[in-house]
Structure 1
């Protein structure tokens, strides 16, 4: 989990139940005795090092032996500027400091309850620590005072829509709408005029889009988001997902079995009967008539007449909540949900079977650019990719433990992924 070099030759790495040391710049590593779970280490000089995790341990002989200094605090990051002055950080905004090599550790007030993951000091006075929700704290007096230097959004982003490689919109907490015209290189905030949670967005072209969110909120634009106008909603239930079917027709689904539809480009909306009170989380249409909705308790609803009638698929292959569904083509459909659930249909949604996803994490959103290339994103930084129409899914190496709630192919080579704490990733 952690590594630190005292100079170009001497380094120490720590992990769960292990400490490694190199004296030749990392060409070879030797195992040192350790029975503690450790997350970080600060190698001060060739003799002195401090490691933290479920304990604080210290060596004064280059790692040959270690002494426990504290076993009451879990810590995830540590930084020493000399053999005496050090700072350690951890969960719940915890900050401990020492001025005598760890003989005594004094708790400091960080003014945050966010988990702190890493810390670095460049002098006894100047230091920075970072943590969850994008928190960045800085001190100029050795930690006596910590000042919030966080920048950028900390709200969760949940919905994403791209109409081409350049033009995209994402939405999230507190009424946030972000728009890009350059493939996500920069994002500009648009005015929603509300503070509701926004859960999904769908554009049929670069100008015409719809956003849905909590309390049945519906926003619409006909000028690429320069103006977002509130539409009268036929429901006060949360709306979790929305899709444009064609330039005139759109469908949204939400809590307590809500299904609503528009036939005038999102200007007006009316309820459709779902026949269920379960929360409905995802919706997909392959054409103006044929659509599928999924939700809590593995519920699957199917229509072949534009939603005038919704038929429940019984039995469903799962009781887990399904969060999203996508038509790959007229016959092939995939849906995903909690506990790594993945189910597939090869007959347009009439019958379904379970498929192994290869992950236990909740899967939240699906995007396909064509019949072969697709992406699924989920909790704890999960990204799954397919290049064979979903026959096989390959997990991408994790870049973060943040959960992802939206993904969209911009073209065959570019994917944008969004999630917790304002995270926006672009895969090229």
Structure 2
């Protein structure tokens, strides 16, 4: 059980505070989407790049220095972009450089390449990279600029192709088909990438809102727990010490009141320490719990007894034992304050080595538990909430014959 509690505490503490929301999670899906897009772009660019390179090398025998320079101008930045996409670093720089270099290569194509008219269906190797340049624009620029590049690059290619073919009619048909197809494909690529990015941004925004909501809930829960714990502490220790001091009519009673006040001040000074509030997870014997209950009766000057039943060697986690003792103290205090201690009887019973039930009975006039005000913390916080905090149970029965408070705990 201690391991489970520790795991829950670690998971709860990992929820960021409101000031930290969005610092590490707001771009999680967006970053994953960018990584996916860059990886797919690298694979596609490598495939078409190899195809274009093979087509360019087929005419390498008659290539001059200008054509070799053209290949270096295009394939150098392309290789940079592919490597950057694969390693996930410098993607925008590499992709942006390739887009600009490819646009320059298109403009220089009619000057560098032989303008001898060939068959219109014979596409130059640079055509294979038009959509790769559009993909590079998608990785490097903002959406509006991406659409401009997706429209401009095919148009430039079409113009260069017509110039190379001398604006012959046969070139117009094939070039128009190539340009229209390339524009449509490029627009689809840009639109899909934009859609994926918007979906990822929406997921990140929803996650940020959810985490912020969880952080707010955690903060509110922690504040409420602290308020209840402080209220219970004030009621259990401080108020009890004040009542004892008021009723002290003998030297022994005054000494007990001083001891209770000292304990109350110590607990107030250590409210930040979990041990002072809850106790440790080390096992506590039932005999020790019974000793604490008997000490409580002795401090209040009550002649009641603590009856032991069942397994004598039972043990409970320290936090549970402390919660039971404090809740039982409150029940005893209520019996003394409201029933005058008449018929006060405390029973500690264990059915096995890991279960304990503490029953506090009195023979007072009783009360209606459902009529307790929200501001009365003697039962709500000091008994019910305290036992619930350690996964225990608390049952209160009261009528004209008296009141019975039953505190129980068993392992989950």
TM-score normalized with structure 1 length: 0.23
Higher helix share: 2
RCO comparison, higher one (Cα < 8 Å, 6+): 2
Higher strand share: 1
TM-score normalized with structure 2 length: 0.24
Higher-Rg member (1/2): 2
